[in-house]
Structure 1
């Protein structure tokens, strides 16, 4: 059976940043395979709209307004999910700040901007993972997947440093959560041509990145979705603490 054909009937998945982009795509893919997906997003309206679309396609989905940097809000949202559904099987820590505003010199971002960047991209991973752990403990196949970035391997800006921290947090949390039977892995996407990237990324920067890829084609959203499906499936049951680079070879290193 192909990984993409694995069935997740009865599974409960919480996806942060689930209102759009990768988060919405993850939710759509998991719901299509039988999971109930909870799309948690700071933009509650976007999350509700995405959940409505999934339900219209025959999937099971709900939405929650959630700032992953707000510990009290996260605890409340995850507590409600666990109470309503009996537990959590999959957590995707996808929410993150990644616009052009954070890919510039630290002095331009400023201390307040840097603090918010790390609160969301790094502390958000810890806050959500720790909140979900009790509801995931002991559930067969329980898996956390964090979203890092190929920028973690270059560190050209503070954004890349935040995603380097996600790689480290992934390895550390994998050690801690193993006692509860929870695997923790990460995906580091390369240049993926989503609508947002096409709108924001200067053509010369896109050309620079693609010139350093080993594979010449454009990265597509489905490449990251397929990686997610692998990491939450039985096919990866002996994989934990790893960051899977999906970059067309851009982030290749020894």
Structure 2
């Protein structure tokens, strides 16, 4: 984990920040002194999550934003620059998850396109929008959220998260001259409220059966991985995908 002072005065943008990992990332970064902007397609949920942080003495703002909409993303980043002077951390967390982890023939093309728009294009759109706002800022770091499904590729969801791994390498190369590190986290089975609502018990048991560590991951496992990647302890780490899967990814 980063020390207690490293993120003081820094600014972080977390997409999909209204709930789940995004909300937890925002809370953790705020606790270390960052001003966190939580962007979510559900602006009301984002505002509520930000209010929880400010009620505990942290600094946070909630904004509505669809990461697949270039105009909305540009407006959010422009607002951050106007209010704070720049951006230090971008967490590309927004994504469509377990409900889309189904065969192509069941989902249909409209849903397949939506997954790619959010999970893949969303990462590209947000990263490109943030590049100049992050250029040259000490410790500037982007973290993308991939998935253990990227190593299994049973559906468009897994394929989209495999693409995130590839984008992480490509963006790390392209953004290096701006002083921005780009990494990813591939979480395994983490039973957040969203996952519990969307994942069947049988599917959860299947995944657990393919892990080396036979327990579901904890949200804090992923938070700790994020805090490492955006800290100075990871200053020589870029283009990497950190697997936090209980060994699941080693079995496929």
TM category, shorter: over 0.9
- Alignment-derived partner of residue 79 in structure 1: 78
8 Å CA contact 1:149, 1:189 repeated in 2 = yes
User: 2:88 and 2:209 mapped to 1: Cα distance?
Assistant: 39
User: 1:172 and 1:220 mapped to 2: Cα distance?
Assistant: 29
8 Å CA contact 1:12, 1:35 repeated in 2 = yes
- Alignment-derived partner of residue 165 in structure 1: 163
Greater than 3 Å deviation, 4+ residue runs: 2-7
Q: Does 1:252 align with 2:250?
A: yes
User: 1:212 and 1:25 mapped to 2: Cα distance?
Assistant: 26
Give secondary structure in 2 for the equivalent of 1:252: helix
- Alignment-derived partner of residue 49 in structure 1: 48
The worse-fitting range, judged by mean Cα deviation, of 91-100 and 2-11 is 2-11
User: 1:114 and 1:196 mapped to 2: Cα distance?
Assistant: 20
8 Å CA contact 1:19, 1:47 repeated in 2 = yes
Deviation at 1:207, TM superposition (A): 1.2
Deviation at 1:12, TM superposition (A): 0.1
User: 1:67 and 1:112 mapped to 2: Cα distance?
Assistant: 17
TM-score by length of 2: 0.97
Unaligned 5+ segments in structure 1 are: none
Unaligned 5+ segments in structure 2 are: none
- Alignment-derived partner of residue 198 in structure 1: 196
Deviations 1:27-48 (A, max 9, x none): 0000000000000111000000
User: 2:105 and 2:184 mapped to 1: Cα distance?
Assistant: 29
8 Å CA contact 2:10, 2:88 repeated in 1 = yes
Deviation at 1:6, TM superposition (A): 5.8
- Work out the number of aligned pairs and report it: 252
- Alignment-derived partner of residue 138 in structure 2: 140
